[in-house]
Structure 1
């Protein structure tokens, strides 16, 4: 369940996943009890301080631009991360230097601003991804997600040989969300914490990770920045 908390000006999303247990009166056939068990807390009593704190943490300020993003469905939210199911999307990418870096961004931004075979200008989306493909984080690409109505076969070709288009098939990813300036040290700490939580929970994270940055760092207060570390999962089941 995803709810917008409209009483606050930034309208934060409250996300709850778990199990609802309904009791039925055998004589009347009507519901007589209802208990929710959240995935994000241990103490699921009727009034739980842990549950109240879980709600409070979700009210923090995150500034998400009003731009198109990849489509996903939240399958589960724990105390430490979300599990999302992403639908396929297309990216324009080039080589980067490090997860927190911006090397190559001007090249891929140039593609959507018209530096392509048809000089077509393509709407900006969010986030900007940097992706490490190996466990050592030594091979990095920087990527802009293209609008979902764009098909890879009908998109114009990049003018630069170092820029390419790629279809991401989607899948299941675990996501850790955080604010502030995403320095290399912080990103590595978040990746390590997320991977440790996944392994502890019996999940199978793939090698590498993605850093998603949603904001223009020159126009956004650091404490309101929305950042995410994503790790694709080998498999996932709600059972």
Structure 2
């Protein structure tokens, strides 16, 4: 949002600067336009609070050139001029903590409120809030707990996920996405890039036997060391993750095998096998709830799945998203270490 009103001039200028420069936050050459900021600018996030342009500059420099963090990335999703004195941004921030051998990746999504002085038009307040916590006042115990939980070693970093995939027959994860909102370690909203999958007919899975038959159908399409592939190119395709099960909410579902990206543009389709179709899935906003990792209760009983769907739908609806699925419908995305519940959503 922007305005042509002269009173919006400084807010519009700040918004333009943020939109152009914030994605380069971690570039060593990035230098904010400090003349847009008041010398007594106040900064606040869940872990810190200070005042003064020098401390503000040092904080920016610490992010860019930290001895503890590397591979920093800032994804800017939105810049909005709310009024002549307020600009709000929405972002995803990620960085790798290099001081630990397992090099944990920390990710946060949230918003920043820039408050401009009514007389000078300079930024006098910078307020960060994270989506993953309720108490954003420093020093937030929730904020500290969130950071610590992301720093702790994941057992899958000790027992490699690749090894687990080999043990359990999983494959490479081929779906690519941008993290839009992170509400907890379990619940996120992601924007998935378009992908292609081979999908069984709607309603083809309705009990254990039909699930096994449909799984075998997809295996025949891919082919393996013992099975000639039933696809138009006659080539064996790799196992990929996740495998998708689209549940209609009416006691039946269909299964989907996601093609590796390098196969998307090739003339590949089922051949000599009925009940499968090629489906192009466009870029999609997806709310996810993860039931993955050691120690997680990965039950797939109807009660557990519907309970997880309800938990996910309730939270993201409360956070301003609209569920696009039919009543009780959802997708199960299966991985070597568990599964995720997926719901297609849009922002209200």
- TM-score bin (small chain): 0.7 to 0.9
Distance in 1 between the 2:207 and 2:141 partners?
A: 40
Q: CA RMSD in A?
A: 3.2
Residues paired across the two proteins, number: 224
Q: 1:210 offset after TM fit, Å?
A: 0.8
Candidates 333, 338, 341, aligned match of 1:229: 341
Conserved? CA contact 1:90–1:152, under 8 Å: no
Of 87, 100, 107, the match for 1:15? 107
Alpha-carbon distance between aligned partners in 2 of 1:56 and 1:42, rounded to the nearest angstrom = 16
Identify the match of residue 81 of structure 1 among 187, 192, 212: 187
Q: Quote the residue 2:270 is aligned against.
A: 157
Q: Secondary structure at the match of 1:166?
A: strand
Q: 2:216 aligns with which of 90, 93, 106?
A: 106
Whether the aligned pair in 2 keeps the contact of 1:158 and 1:164 (CA below 8 Å) is no
Q: CA deviation at 1:153?
A: 6.5
What are the residue-to-residue correspondences of 1:107-146 with 2, within 5 Å? 107-113=217-223, 114-132=229-247, 134-136=248-250, 138-146=251-259
Aligned to 1:177: 290
Q: Which moved more, 1:60-69 or 1:175-184?
A: 60-69
Among candidates 301, 318, 325, match of residue 200 of structure 1 = 318
Q: Structure 2 vs 1, CA of residues 61 and 123 (structure 1 numbering), >3 Å: closer, same or farther?
A: same
Q: Using CA pairs below 8 Å that are at least 6 residues apart, which structure has the higher relative contact order? A: 1
Q: Measured at CA, do residues 231 and 165 of structure 1 come closer, stay the same or move farther in structure 2, by a change above 3 Å?
A: same
The correspondence for 1:91, drawn from 183, 191, 197, is: 197
Identify which of 327, 330, 334 aligns with 1:209. 330
1:135–1:150: structure 2 CA closer, same or farther, 3 Å change rule?
same
Structure 1 unmatched ranges of 5 or more? 216-224
- Retained in 1: the 8 A contact 2:187–2:289? yes
Q: Give the TM-score of the pair, scaled to structure 2.
A: 0.55
Name the structure with the higher strand share. 2
Question: 2: distance between equivalents of 1:108 and 1:38?
Answer: 41
Q: 1:107 to 1:56 in 2, by over 3 A?
A: farther
- Alpha-carbon separation, structure 2, partners of 1:96 and 1:13: 37
Q: Which sections of structure 2, spanning at least 5 residues, go unmatched?
A: 1-92, 163-170, 224-228
Q: State the partner residue of 1:46.
A: 138
Give 1 or 2 for the bigger CA radius of gyration: 2
- 1:1-39 CA-to-partner distances (Å, cap 9, x unmatched) read 2334455666554220112346789xxx99887542101
Is contact 1:120-1:156 (8 Å) kept? no
Kept after mapping to 1: 8 A contact 2:231/2:268: no
